[in-house]
Structure formats: C-alpha cells, structure tokens
C-alpha cells in the first residue's frame, strides 16, 4: 500500500465513527512515526476526509482480514467502527486473534436516561416496530439510518419522518417524509422539528455521543416517548470508550517500546 520501510509501526483504524477519525488523527501525528491506514466500509456516499491512508470496502470476512493484516505488516488494530456495527468488531477480534496482532475496540458510551425521560429500551429494530404498534404511535421521528427502515413496514398506521445522511434507496415505507441531514444537531432545531411535524414518538439507536443527543433532550422537554434500540454486545477483549483511553492503550501496547527516531546527521 505504501513504502512500509519508512514506517516503524503501521496501525489499521477501522473507521466509521467520529472517534475513528480522531484516533486516526492522533496516531498519524505521533512523533514516533506511525503510519495510519483508515478503513471505511463504503456505506456513506461522500465520507468526510480522514487522516492517514484511506482504503474503502470490506476485507472479505475474518480470513480476508487476517490475510490483509499479515500482508500489510500491521502492528495493531483500533476498531473504531460505529457502536452498532454488527459484523466488523467480531471479525476484527477473530482475525487479530488468529494473527496475534493486538486489537482494541473503541466505542463511545451509550446514552443514559435522566429525570423526565420516557424511554422504552428494546433489543432490535423489529422490537422497536412492535413497540410502535403496541403503543399506537401515529407520527414517528425515525433516526435509525437509511438502511434500517424495512422493519417499520410492520407499522402501517404510522406516518414516519425519516432522517438520514444519504437518501434511502428504495424507501420501503408508504407513509413517510425523508429529510437529509448530518449532525451535529442543536436542541432548538430538534425541538422545532418535532413540534412542526407533531411527532408523538422518537425512535433511535443508542449510538451515544453529543452530536445526536439533542433529539433526546428535545423529546424530554416535549414529553415525547422514545423507543431506544440497545447496542449489540462488544466482542471479548480490550474495550475503551474515549480517544484518550485508546491512545493510552496504544502507548502501552506498541508506542512505548519504540526508540525515539534517530536524528538526521548534521550537514558539515
Ligand atoms: P458491519 O455489519 O459491521 O459490517 C458489514 C461488513 O462491511 C463487514 O463484514 C465488512 O466487510 C465491511 N466493513 C464494515 N466496517 C468496515 C470498515 N471500517 N472498513 C472496511 N470494511 C468494513 O457494519 P454495518 O452496520 O453494515 O456498518 C457499515 C459501516 O458503517 C461500519 O464501518 C460502521 O462503523 C458504519 N456505521 C454503521 C452504523 C450503524 O448504525 N450500523 C452507523 C453509522 C456508521 P468484510 O466482511 O468483507 O470485511
């Protein structure tokens, strides 16, 4: 992928979250001389710029990733995929175990309820749809992502305000309006949006983070119930919730062992 002799360590950052971009930036700027490869699944049509070398697309499951890690002489993997990434965390754990490469899961904390919140926590999107039917929800603000709409076809009596970064293609819901937007969102805007559309229920995944949290505060202020989809479990092995903690793991795992770079000989 690059002239790897220039680099003493090569780190694969599995990106797809804000934290992925941040840890890649921290490592790419590290004085020890770290080559960072940031990897994206390729779901977002126009992803934001990322530090380091960028690669896009899957590796071909656990075996494909294990082969790629060995061929590219990767020193360590930081799995900073989205908290709801379903396969990649397990694949990374298995491929790194098979190749003996250290791996860290970086996953920001989930949201915590506060006084006044009316949350129903459910295990998956199907259960979220079942809850909407059971509660008789009629005007639903759906923020689960453009590729996660199909389960809500089971709620024919509801109208949906669907918010996504890229357009759903196709849109499986008959009674829906789509708005395209990318966070961070602000509280006043979220409150105004929910009022303008007379929303009676918010559905969201427990993605965590500040950028998307204002919708939960707006729902609390407006007394709107929230159906919150719980996260998939993290794979076994080291897992941290902040970029600082991830950097500490990198220091302890491979950066501290590096001797300082040899200074260039002085001319003359
Ligand atoms: P997934 O189930 O974990 O991934 C499906 C497949 O996509 C993986 O098996 C892998 O293919 C490939 N892949 C995933 N992340 C990759 C990465 N960073 N670099 C290269 N290949 C990757 O994840 P998903 O839920 O479909 O999400 C896809 C991506 O979007 C993830 O990177 C995730 O971080 C991001 N994202 C997801 C959500 C969400 O709510 N699910 C929200 C925002 C962002 P191979 O098996 O061929 O290697």
Residue 51 in this model has a pLDDT that exceeds 80: yes
Atom number of ligand 1 nearest to Cα 80: 34
Residue 8 in this model has a pLDDT that exceeds 90: no
Residue owning the nearest CA to atom 24 of ligand 1 = 85
> What pLDDT, on a 0 to 100 scale, did the predictor assign at position 257?
84
Atom number of ligand 1 nearest to Cα 88: 3
> What pLDDT, on a 0 to 100 scale, did the predictor assign at position 193?
98
3-state helix, strand, coil in the chain (%, to 5): 30, 20, 50
pLDDT tier, 48 (very low <50, low <70, confident <90, very high otherwise): confident
> What pLDDT, on a 0 to 100 scale, did the predictor assign at position 52?
87
- Residue 93 near residue 65 (C-beta atoms within 8 A): no
Measured at the CA of 194, the angle between CA 158 and CA 118, to 5 degrees, comes to 80
Pocket of ligand 1 (CB under 6 A): 14-17, 39-41, 43, 58-61, 64-65, 81-82, 84-88, 91, 145, 205
Average pLDDT, the chain: 94
Residue 3 in this model has a pLDDT that exceeds 80: no
Residue 2 in this model has a pLDDT that exceeds 80: no
The stretch 54-83 carries a mean pLDDT of 97
CA 72 / ligand 1 centre spacing (Å): 20
Atom number of ligand 1 nearest to Cα 60: 47
> What pLDDT, on a 0 to 100 scale, did the predictor assign at position 153?
98
Could you tell which of 16, 59, 84, 105 is best to mutate to test the pocket of ligand 1, judged by most ligand atoms within 8 Å of the CB? 16
Residue 63 in this model has a pLDDT that exceeds 90: yes
Nearest to 50 by CA among 83, 77, 84, 13: 13
Could you tell which of 41, 146, 231 is best to mutate to test the pocket of ligand 1, judged by most ligand atoms within 8 Å of the CB? 41
CA 87 / ligand 1 centre spacing (Å): 7
Half-sphere exposure of 36 (CA within 13 A, CB side): 24
Tens-digit pLDDT profile for residues 14-34:
999 999 999 999 999 988 889
Tens-digit pLDDT profile for residues 178-224:
999 999 999 999 999 999 999 999 999 999 999 999 999 999 999 99
């Amino acid at each position: 992928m690059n002239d790897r002799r220039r680099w003493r360590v090569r780190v694969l950052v599995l990106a797809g979250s804000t934290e992925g971009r941040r840890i890649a930036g921290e490592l790419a700027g590290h004085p020890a001389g770290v080559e960072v490869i940031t990897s994206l699944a390729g779901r977002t049509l126009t992803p934001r710029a990322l530090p380091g070398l960028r690669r896009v697309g899957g590796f071909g499951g656990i075996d494909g990733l294990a082969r790629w890690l060995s061929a590219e002489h990767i020193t360590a993997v930081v799995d900073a995929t989205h908290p709801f990434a379903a396969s990649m965390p397990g694949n990374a754990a298995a491929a790194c175990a098979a190749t003996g490469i250290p791996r860290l899961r970086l996953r920001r904390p989930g949201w915590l309820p506060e006084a006044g919140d009316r949350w129903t926590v459910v295990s998956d999107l199907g259960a979220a749809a079942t809850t909407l039917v059971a509660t008789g929800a009629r005007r639903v603000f759906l923020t689960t992502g453009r590729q996660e709409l199909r389960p809500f076809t089971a709620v024919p009596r509801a109208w949906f305000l669907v918010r996504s970064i890229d357009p759903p293609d196709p849109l499986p819901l008959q009674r829906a309006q789509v708005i395209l937007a990318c966070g961070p969102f602000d509280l006043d805007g979220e409150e105004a949006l929910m009022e303008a559309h007379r929303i009676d229920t918010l559905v969201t995944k427990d993605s965590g983070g500040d950028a998307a949290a204002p919708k939960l505060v707006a729902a609390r202020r407006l007394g709107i119930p929230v159906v919150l989809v719980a996260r998939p479990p993290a794979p076994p092995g080291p897992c941290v919730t902040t970029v600082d903690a991830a950097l500490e793991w990198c220091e302890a795992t491979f950066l501290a062992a590096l001797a300082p770079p040899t200074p260039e000989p002085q001319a003359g």
